[in-house]
Structure formats: structure tokens, C-alpha cells
Amino acid sequence: MSHRIVSVFVALLLMVGLVSGAVGSQTAVAAPARVGPGSPCYPIQEAIDANEAARQQHNASPPDQNNPAAVEAYNAEAEAGQAQAAQLESQMEACLAGNPQANPSPRPPRGTNPQNPGTITSDSDPGRLNQLNPSITRTRTTEDGGQSTYSPAIRTQDGNWTATNASAYVTPGQLGTGSPASSAIRPPGFRGGAGGDARAHLLGDQLGGLGNDPRNIVTLTQKTNRLMSEAENDIANLVRGGDNVFVNVTPIGFPGSRPEGILLVSRSDSGIWYIKYFPD
């Protein structure tokens, strides 16, 4: 490996604070838990803890420094993991400031508004699966003010993509604009249905999430995917009842492997929070 590649590798990992012991730097110490299990914000703390565990695992498995592709992937994972940690801290701050009471319980009643797909008024990366550019942000809007945003995916060494985040302002027009997961997408860690896995949406199909875009598909167990679908159905029911909802969904862990879990944070226009961490 050239000196230049080694220098870039070390400098980047120093910058993001994720240098492994292999190059002689100390591993960062995780911040103490800010909330306990009784707090409505605790699911975010669970995600923070899982991110820290994934960071430690990442640092313990440095790449072959004679393999530039492996170094590049490792660096991209380090950057994404650090960005995820910062996002989680921001979500914790917002949760503590917002003082949510609890997840909605019992389940909200099904609204009377029909689920008629709205008209997509703009799409920043339209086209079939083989025409997409997953390395850029994709944003879609509907005529009633709904919007979904898919953060750039990260390319893995095997040529597949790792989804990083999806968010949406879910309106009635968003409902019904989603699509089922495409069998042409193979997210990291996917073993097939026979192995108990599912191609899972970050932003659910029922909330307008796309199943034919790798920016929105991750590997989860079928059980975890069903639990997420139940939560997404609750959110869809709020929207049908006239209460639009902002949703943010993040796969927790480092790119290149299946998620440790999924963090779902949502807040409706009327102030109803739904915060849930789904370990997988």
C-alpha cells in the first residue's frame, strides 16, 4: 500500500475519532447513559448504546492496509458511524427538549380518510432501479405537502449498497405512494427468506416508502420487520385521521453489515410522539 493511502487512512480515522488500537490510538469512551428505561427517550439511548457497540466492533477489525478498496470502505464506514452518533445525540437533545409523554397507547383509531395515492409532484432521482444513483440524496414530494427523503447509501466492497437513513413528512397524499421490496436488492447480511430474513423498508411501504430503492432497504429478521410494520400502521392511522406525522428512521450500526437495530422517531402535528428502538 502506498504511503499516501496509509496517510489518508490514518488522518481520516483520527479526524472522526475512530482510530483502532492497531495504529496505537486509544478507543474513545462512551458517554454515560443520559436517561433510564422509564424515560420516553430511552429508545434513543438504546440506539446510542448500540452505535457505541458497533463502533467498538468496527475498531477491533481494521482492514488490510495493502487493500485500498478495503481501506476506502473502512473509512466510509467510520465517517457514517460518526455521523450517525452525532445524529443520535441531536435526536436525544430534541427528545429531552420536547418532553414527549409516551408512545401512543392504545392504538389510534383508523381514520375515515380513504388511502388514495397522492400525486408525486417532484422526484430528485426518478427511474427504474438500474437507473438510480443511490450515492445521492433522493427527495420526493406530493401535492398536499408530503415529502420523503432518502439519505445517500454507502457502497459496500461486494458492490451492494447500505441504506443510512430515511425521513418523511407523512400526509394523506403520501399514503399509497410506496412500493413493495424488490427482490433485485440484496442489502448487507441478507440470507434469504428461508434464513428468516426480510428485505425491510426504513420508511414503510404504507407511509409512502419505496421498495425499489436501496437507500430505503435493509436486512432485518422477519419478526423485527413485522414489529416495525405494526408501528408504521399506527402512524398511518394517525395520518388518515387528519394528523400528519414527521418520521425519521435510522438503521443502527456500521455500514457493510446488517443493522444492530432500527430507531424510529416520529412526532405528529398535534404533538403525539412515537419513539421506538427495534433491536434485531
Model pLDDT for residues 244-280, shown as the tens digit of each residue: 999 999 999 877 788 999 999 999 999 888 999 999 9
Residues 266 and 202 in one domain: yes
Residues of the domain holding 41? 3-98
User: For residue 14, what pLDDT is reported?
Assistant: 30
198: CATH: 3.40.570.10
Say whether pLDDT at 8 is over 50. no
User: For residue 155, what pLDDT is reported?
Assistant: 85
User: For residue 74, what pLDDT is reported?
Assistant: 84
Residues 126 and 224 in one domain: yes
- Whether 108 is in a domain gets the answer no
Please, which pLDDT band fits residue 23 given cuts at 50, 70 and 90?
Answer: very low
Residues 230 and 181 in one domain: yes
Indicate the pTM of the whole model: 0.81
Residues 134 and 198 in one domain: yes
How confident is the model over 95-120, as a mean pLDDT?
A: 60
Distance CA 243, CA 220 (A): 29
Max CA-CA distance within the chain?
A: 65
Residues 92 and 158 in one domain: no
Question: Average pLDDT over the chain, rounded to whole?
Answer: 82
Distance CA 143, CA 147 (A): 9
Task: Compare 95 and 148 and report the one with higher pLDDT.
Answer: 148
How confident is the model over 6-21, as a mean pLDDT?
A: 33
In tens, the pLDDT along 198-250 reads 999 999 999 999 999 999 999 999 999 999 999 999 999 999 999 999 999 99
- Whether 113 is in a domain gets the answer no
Residues 94 and 162 in one domain: no
User: For residue 55, what pLDDT is reported?
Assistant: 87
User: For residue 7, what pLDDT is reported?
Assistant: 28
- Whether 104 is in a domain gets the answer no
Distance CA 210, CA 201 (A): 7
Closest CA to 248 of 204, 213, 187: 204
Q: Kindly state the cell numbers that stand for 232.
A: 408504521
Distance CA 135, CA 121 (A): 22
Task: Compare 102 and 143 and report the one with higher pLDDT.
Answer: 143
Say whether pLDDT at 24 is over 80. no
In tens, the pLDDT along 41-50 reads 899 999 999 9
Torsion from C-alpha of 29, 34, 38, 41, nearest 10 degrees:
-100
**What percentage of residues in the chain have a pLDDT greater than 70?**
82
Residues 151 and 249 in one domain: yes
Count how many domains the chain has: 2
Q: E-assigned strands of 95-194? A: 120-123, 138-142, 147-150, 154-155, 161-162, 166-170
